[in-house]
Copies of this chain bind each other. A is one copy, B any other.
Amino acid sequence: MEIRDPVHGSIFYSDSEVAVLDTPEYQRLRAIKQLGYAEFSFPGATHNRYLHSIGVGHLAGQTFDSIFKVYPFSKPSTKTRFRQALRLAALLHDVGHGPLSHTTEQVMPHLSQLNIKIYKEQEQYGEEAHTVMNHNRRANHEDYTIKYVTDSGIAKTLVSNFADISPLHIACLIDKALYCPDDFFIDNGVDFRPILSQLVSSEVDVDRMDYLERDSYFCGTNYGKIDHAWLIQNMTFYRKENKMYLAINRRALYSFDDFLISRHHMHLMVYCHHKSIIYEEMLNRYLTSPDCSFKLPGDINEYTLYNDYRLHEHLNHVQNPWAQRIAQRRPFKVLIEQHNTSVSDRPELIKNALKNEGLEVIRTSSKNRLSKYHTASPEERAIQIYVVDQYDRWAQPAPINQTTEIFHRYEGARIIDRIYVAPEQVAAADKILQSLKLS
């Protein structure tokens, strides 16, 4: 079937893949917007996680083809199988996402309520596996994703449509910490799981390539416009000690820099827009208030009914003042906005001065980094992207963070501090500010 995508054009999916897309569990993504409240500042941004995921699956196939065009796999079927597993993992990487945004993870249940069988099975594999997993915690959207992939209507559809790929293998490409008990990812003694995992999730994965282009297209901004065709053409592999890693040709290194900076600027200008931030914060206040009656269920079939529509309907009909502010579009207004590279004490001083005069104040602080290298999990940091150079025969493949200077240039975080007050108190707040003496 051809799916028409304004970003990538016509995208082809096989009947077996369409069977996955057509499950109610997958269709749920149609009702979860990609950018949550960003539509309040960028009204074109109504695109959903359904089309994004379809785009990610498409780029996964394209990238695989580009990297392994002439690679001598032991059998054609191995190539087909790796490619299919990758596409499915890409299609499903986000399937457990909660309504609206990560903020709703606050009302997710305890992990045990999801009853994820493969998590328990992992325990038998001892130290190598998921043993460090803390079962004593709240579930997050990644847990729901693994649940959907391995134990739901989607899992059944996978089993009946893809004979040589099990749900666990797909889960292994989504979650790098899962242990794979068989040789599914091995060909001729080489382990392809690292590179396939990196395509799903890494510094330059197909998820990011899709969402930057897509968010730019629907928001109507240019920040996220990247040269993904050039990046994809110049992706390759690098084998090290029987493991296959993602690599980039030297000549696309500026495209990589451009990609990272595009993403950084999308964060600063779009994802951290002052309106998105305040709506998220008001939602957060409602969800964590004692009278909140919106709770996400552990049962996966019930969870399938929870989406943006249900949350919006809920907020429209409850009395909590934060919910009412959201539903009636009466958000707190920005009073002060400050961009720093280090922590400043001025926002706290201002906040206190306003509070002392009896005003209700919300202070937010958004920390933006160029890259998640700094905060990556140990599993992710262990799997590196390499740079290879075809024009310089003395060049050795090297990890990307040793090759580009971009990480060094953008080392620190960029912090956006904001003070918001209720719209009806803006005038009063202004007055107080005028009497403040600050350097």
Contact = CB atoms under 8 A, between A and B. Distances in A.
Contacts of A391: 334, 336-338
Interface stretch (A71-79, A104-112, A213-221, A372-380): A213-221
Contact of A10 (B233, B254, B309): B233
A254 B230 contact: no
Contact of A6 (B4, B33, B220): B220
Interface in A338-354: 338-339, 341, 346
A428 B6 CA distance: 37
Interface in A19-38: 22, 24, 27, 30-31, 33
Given A220-B4, A265-B257, A309-B312, A24 B329 contact: yes
Given A31-B312, A43-B51, A409-B410, A6 B269 contact: no
Q: State the oligomeric state as a number of copies.
A: 4
A201 to B, nearest CB: 23
A433 B393 contact: yes
Interface string A199-243: 000000000000000000111111101110110010000000000
Interface in A295-319: 305, 308-310, 312-313, 316
A96 B43 CA distance: 19
Contacts of A3: 43
A294 to B, nearest CB: 13
Contact of A9 (B220, B268, B337, B339): B220
A54 B339 CA distance: 32
Contact of A44 (B51, B230, B258, B346): B51
B392 A337 contact: yes
A4 B254 contact: no
A258 B223 contact: yes
Contacts of A10: 229-230, 233
A389 to B, nearest CB: 9
A324 to B, nearest CB: 11
Interface in A253-280: 253-255, 257-258, 261-262, 265, 268-269
A438 interface: yes
Contacts of A312: 31, 309
Interface centre among A46, A218, A438 (most CB of B within 10 A): A46
B27 A392 contact: no
Contacts of A222: 225-227, 258
A123 B24 CA distance: 52
Interface in A131-163: none
B2 A233 contact: yes
A392 B30 contact: no
A418 to B, nearest CB: 9
Interface string A39-57: 1011110111011001000
A217 B44 CA distance: 11
Contacts of A262: 258
A30 B54 contact: no
Given A261-B261, A265-B257, A269-B254, A4 B337 contact: no
A394 B50 contact: no
Contacts of A339: 250, 253
A254 B268 contact: yes
Nearest to A411: B409
A439 interface: yes
Given A46-B47, A258-B265, A223 B227 contact: yes
Contact of A394 (B6, B341, B438): B438
Nearest to A42: B4
A328 interface: yes
Contact of A4 (B22, B30, B31, B219): B219
A46 B43 contact: no
A405 interface: yes
Contact of A30 (B43, B230, B310, B409): B43
A394 to B, nearest CB: 5
Contacts of A24: 327-329
Given A22-B329, A393-B433, 11 more contacts: A4-B43, A4-B221, A5-B44, A6-B44, A24-B328, A46-B51, A250-B339, A309-B309, A336-B393, A337-B391, A346-B394
